[in-house]
Structure 1
Amino acid sequence: MADSESPAAPDTAPSARVAVAADVDRIAAVLARAFEDDPVWSWILPDEASRLRRLRAAFGILLREVHLGHRASEHTGRHGDIEAAALWDPPGAWRTPLSAQARQAVPLVRAFGTRLPVALRALGRVEGHHPKEPHWYLSMIGTDPQAQGSGLGTVLLRSRLDRCDASGEAAYLESSKESNVPYYEKFGFTVTRELRLPGNGAPPVWLMWRDPGAG
C-alpha cells in the first residue's frame, strides 16, 4: 500500500477519474514504482534489478484481466497527470474468475519467472482469509514516490469511501506495511487480523475492515 498521505494543496485540486484501457500502462508503471520497496513484493521478488520491470508487467496483467472491467478503479494526479491509483472491486466481484485465471497464466509466468509459485502461495493465503460479508475491496492503492505526501491517496480513498457511506456498504483492504495501518485507521478501517504469509522470512499483512460511516 501507499505511504501515508497529507491533504492536497487547494490550488492543485486533483480529482479521481475512472481508469480505462488507455490508462493501463501508466497506472501499472506508477504502481510498480510505489510498491518497489514494499515488504511483501520485495520478499516475493527479491532481485532488485528486475523487480520494477516484473511488477509493472504483473500489475498491467491484473488491471486488464481483473480490475478494469469493473469500472471501479480510479486514478488521480496533479495537473491532469496519473500519479496515484486505487484498484477497487465491487461487492461479490473480488474473486478472479476461472476464465481470467486462464488468460493470466502464461503472462504471469513471464512476469514472475521462478518466483510465481511463491507469489501464488502468498496471494492464496491472503485470499483464504478474505471476508465473506458483502464489501468493496481495495485490492491496491499506490502513489508515485515523487508525488507522495501531496494528498493523492486521500483523494482516491475519499472518492470511494464517501460513496460506500452513502450506500451503506462496507470496505476491506490488506495493508502490506505496518506503518500504513494508522493512515487507514484515520479513514475508519480497523485491523481484524495480522496474517503471516507462508514461507521462510515471509512478512505479515494486516487485514482491515471498514463499516459504512466509520471514520
Structure 2
Amino acid sequence: MSGETKSVRRAGSSDRETVVRLLDAAFQDDPVSGWVFPDEEGRRATHPLLMGAIVDIVLEAGRVEVLADGSAVALWMSVPDGERGRQGHEAAHESDPDSDSGDGDGEAEDEADGPAQLRAAIDPDNERIETMGRLTAEIHPRHPHEYLWLIAVDPARQGEGRGTALLRPTLDRCDREGSALYLEASSARGRDLYRRLGFTTMERTLVLPDGPTLWPMWRDPQPG
C-alpha cells in the first residue's frame, strides 16, 4: 500500500452508508453474526440494520475511522473508569433522540435496558441481539481504555495489511499517552493477529449459548 492509502481519517455522518455497507459485507459470514442471525435469508435483510444501529451509536458517542481509500473501517469508544456497560450495545439509548430524560433512576434504567432497546429497534423477535449485548457488557473491563468495537476490511482487500494500517495510529497514540485498549476477537485468526499487535488474551472467554467463542483481549501501553 502507498503512504496515501495508509492514511487514516475520521468518518462523519456523510460516510454512514458507506461504512454500514462495508461492515455488513465483512461480517455477514462472521461466526457471531451467524449466531445472532442463524437464518441466512433473514440475516441478509436484518444484519445491515444492526450494523447501521451500531454505526449510529459510535458516530454519536465515539469515533469512526476509515482508511483513505475506504477499504477498512474501525469503530472506537473511549471507556472511562467505572463505565463498563456504557459502550457497545448498552449505549444504544444514547443515539435515540426520543428517549425520555426522566429522573436519575429512569436514566439508569434506560442504560441497563440498552440491549433490549437495540433488539426492539432491529428485530423484536430475536432475543439473541439482546443476549449478545448483555453478555459482552458483563465481561467488559472497568479500567479506562479505548474499546475497539468493530474493525472491518473489504472482503476483496483482506490479507493486505489494511486492518493493521488502520489500527496503527491509535495503537501508537495510546502508547504515547499511556492508554490501554480492549476488544473481543470473534475468531481464532483474529485473536492471533491481535496478539501480534501486542494484545493478550484475558483469562475469561465468552462462549455464546450453543454458539461460537469470543476472546476478550487487553493491550497495555507498549514501551517506545
Relative to the length of structure 2, the TM-score reads 0.80
Aligned to 2:64: 73
2:75 to 52, 71, 87: 87
CA contact (8 A) 1:188 1:214 kept: no
Deviation sequence 1:56-87 (CA, Å, 0-9, x none): 111111211x211245220115xx3x221100
Tell which has more relative contact order, 1 or 2 (C-alpha 8 A, sep 6+). 1
Query: Structure 1 residue 19 and structure 2 residue 11: aligned?
Result: yes
Q: CA deviation at 1:14?
A: 2.6
Deviation sequence 1:138-186 (CA, Å, 0-9, x none): 0000111111122210111112111111111000000111121110001
Count residues in correspondence. 200
CA contact (8 A) 1:189 1:214 kept: no
Runs of 4+ in structure 1 deviating by more than 4 angstroms, as ranges, are 101-108
1:114 to 118, 122, 125: 125
Aligned to 2:83: none
Query: Structure 1 residue 170 and structure 2 residue 198: aligned?
Result: no
Q: Closer, same or farther in 2 for the Cα pair 1:214/1:146, shift >3 Å?
A: farther
SS of the residue corresponding to residue 201 of structure 2 reads strand
- Percent of aligned pairs sharing the same letter: 34
Deviation sequence 1:62-113 (CA, Å, 0-9, x none): 211x211245220115xx3x22110000132625164436768777545335
Q: Closer, same or farther in 2 for the Cα pair 1:83/1:53, shift >3 Å?
A: farther
SS of the residue corresponding to residue 174 of structure 1 reads strand
Structure of larger gyration radius: 2
Aligned to 2:105: none
Relative to the length of structure 1, the TM-score reads 0.83
Gaps of 5+ in 2: 81-85, 100-113
Matches within 5 A, 1:105-144: 108-109=119-120, 111-115=122-126, 117-144=127-154
Deviation sequence 1:20-40 (CA, Å, 0-9, x none): 001111101101111111111
Gaps of 5+ in 1: 1-8
Aligned to 2:23: 31
CA RMSD, 1 decimal? 2.4
SS of the residue corresponding to residue 212 of structure 1 reads coil
